[in-house]
Amino acid sequence: MDEKKVYQIGIVGGGKVGLQLFEQFMQSALTQVAFVVDINHDAPAMVAARKKKIPIFTDISDAIKSRETDLICEVTGSKKVESVLQAALSGSPTPVLSHEMAFIVLSVIEENNHFTRSRFCEEILGVRDDIQDSLGKMETLVEGVEDISSEMKILALNARIETARAGEAGITFRVVAENMTRSADSIQHMTKEIEKISHSVRQISDRIQKAAETMK
């Protein structure tokens, strides 16, 4: 299968909108920022580009000559910059995304991201509710098993008392009583382990809750 084409994008304007576009393009496997242009070396997108070792320029013509691009985004909103860019691209088929269109694209992306986050939060909170419900049922069952274990110990104690009274005739019942005691002890041990697991799962559930609230 042929590899997907990676589109080279030039960004003219290193301000807030330029930075937002830069971050979106850098996150995609289908796009690569070819360069960022701004007269201010300390503009947000210029700083981000330097950190990622993406070429930066203060002159539009120099930037366009440096690398071939599939699209140039003009995000300064300056008519003068637009004119300079059009002159630098004279005779070039490279399309230009205007400041207005870039703003619309970013707005749509943000809206979609917000919708996706909301849906994801709903899903993980639903999972968290299911976990809480299951934990509640499990804890109820554990309490029931603990009650049975306590009753078994009481029965085993009574059985030992009766076997002691019965003398030699009660030996068989004494063995049964001892087995009941061991079984009750094993059940108590298992319920304690289940309680530990339940506590860990509840902590995970709380972390899911906090993560979902952070994403909202």
- Type of residue numbered 195: E
pLDDT reading at 27 higher than 60: yes
Taking only the tens place, the pLDDT of each residue in 58-106 is 999 999 998 889 999 999 988 899 899 999 998 888 999 888 888 887 8
For the beta carbon of residue 212, count every other beta carbon within 10 angstroms.
19
pLDDT reading at 2 higher than 60: no
Please compute, for residue 23, the number of CA atoms within 13 A of its CA located in the half-sphere on the CB side: 12
Phi, psi for 18 (deg, rounded to 5): -60, -40
The Cα 104–Cα 109 span in angstroms is: 9
The structure's pTM equals 0.58
At the fourth CATH level, the homologous superfamily of domain 7-97 is: NAD(P)-binding Rossmann-like Domain (3.40.50.720)
| Extents of the domains making up the chain | 7-97, 114-215
* CATH number corresponding to 114-215: 1.10.287.950
What pLDDT is attached to residue 1? Answer: 41
Cβ atoms of residues 73 and 21 within 8 Å: yes
Taking only the tens place, the pLDDT of each residue in 146-188 is 888 888 888 878 877 777 777 766 677 777 777 778 887 888 8
